[in-house]
Structure 1
Amino acid sequence: MKVYISADIEGTTGITHWDEAEKPHATYPEFRERMTDEVVAACEGAIEAGATEILIKDAHDSGRNIIAGRLPDCAKLIRGWSGHPFSMVQELDASFDALLFVGYHSKAGSDDNPLAHTLRLRVAHLAINGEIASEFQIYSYAAALVKVPGIFLSGDAGICADARKLVPAIVTVPVSRGIGPSTLSIAPSLALKEIREGASRALRGNHAACHIELPKHFTLEIKFTTPVDAYRASWYPGATLTEPRVVRFLSTDYFEVLRAIKFMA
């Protein structure tokens, strides 16, 4: 069994402030360790369920957070960013049996995580077909392009709820919830146990139930925090400035939506 893991940091257990997610700060190493621990737990669950190959994308900020020396022998790690529109699921293709999301977070504009955002902080929100989208949705749709189901997600309670709304059969592990600028989290040791068990259960389950049917047409709207960023993005081919801070892009091809997101957001 061949498994892909996309890992972020803002949905790891206990993370509460941007300092904890950024390399220059003294509190970052603790959450780098926690991100690594949660990825390793997902790997252990996957191996228990029969995975023989695991590809991991370090999908936070620099793409250089996970401590590679802790990964199992059957795992490979993508560090940094190639610039490909698949971005957080770079190198995902039809050869994979399943996709797992670890450490994911709520979308921009949500109050479910003090670190809620979508892609970059200059994006106030990103909508697909009129619905505010999360990074989970953006890259679940990318996985659907190559017919790979997203079957597991760990992160804050808000993104877990969004994931179940989009993919009712997905296995989720909520590790925290936001309360204003604070968080209420489970113990890290319990999170590792539940991530390990959840990943194993998801991979032993019915993957077909997690397949997504892509819409036939896409309306992408990106609302920026400033009109300056919106004006700049409006020069992307096919993009239209519909409000001072809003850019719209239409397509019937989701890969073109991903390409637009890559260059505009």
Structure 2
Amino acid sequence: MDSSKIFIDPEIELGCEEFPSLYELKIKSGEEELIGAMLTPGNKGPNPTVILFHGFPGYEDNHDLAQSLRRCGLNVLIFHYRGSWGVGGSFSFKNCIEDAKNVIDFVNDKKIVKTYNIDKDNIYLVGHSMGGFLTLTHCMDKRIKASVAISPYDFGLKGCIMKVDKNELKDGMEMFSNALHPLSGTDAKALIEETMNYGEEWKLKNKAEELSKEKILIIAAIGDTVGPNKLHHEPLMKEIYKYSKENVKEILIHADHSYNNKKILLSKIVAQYIESIYNE
């Protein structure tokens, strides 16, 4: 892996055996098949591999980040969750959590490891917003070497506070209602009820001690109005740091929730962090 190549096209001629490729994937999850793709750098490998979790519902899918990491010499797996963007089944946050686990299983399957030249000792999770929530939910998996959570949105916390705060409930209803177009088998009421029912179980703050033991970079946007730092970042970091400050790092960026003005900087930070862990 070489993060200095993040914005340099590889010098590989057409027809070369070691040519960057994109492979369509179907990943079994529940009774459905997730739609995904594996971006490969064209190296002989085995290559470090990133699983990239997009947010809710996925208008910002961070494919620019996937391409940037691929140029550094990583495999990058991208996919859509059940009930989203044409994937069969019903969308739910519980299904998203299960989908994430099934994708991790997929990447560690012997056949898949061989097919895509995956370095099983260097598998990383990277996720934005809901994807950041999924990253922090699954980063304790021993098969994961390190993780990057970009503006993780804590749906467990959201469910808990919607129970007692009418303004947060109104905000949740508006957010979920506006996200329904690419989703199937759900509605705003069902999503609110789900987050309320599973709030305590999912809340990231409750996992702080476990998280403190993992290699994680948490990136937050100073101008985030979707997942305000005072709710989704600062309390979580404070709780994690009660246990340890050695493993979990944080970086604040002058950007909005989608990092619309800092996409290049975001790519550099993610690539350099993964490289630092890879070279340990």
TM-score normalised over the length of structure 2: 0.37
Q: Between Structure 1 and Structure 2, which shows a larger proportion of strand residues?
A: 1
- Higher relative contact order by CA 8 Å / sep ≥ 6: 1 or 2? 1
TM-score normalised over the length of structure 1: 0.38
Q: Between Structure 1 and Structure 2, which shows a larger proportion of helix residues?
A: 2
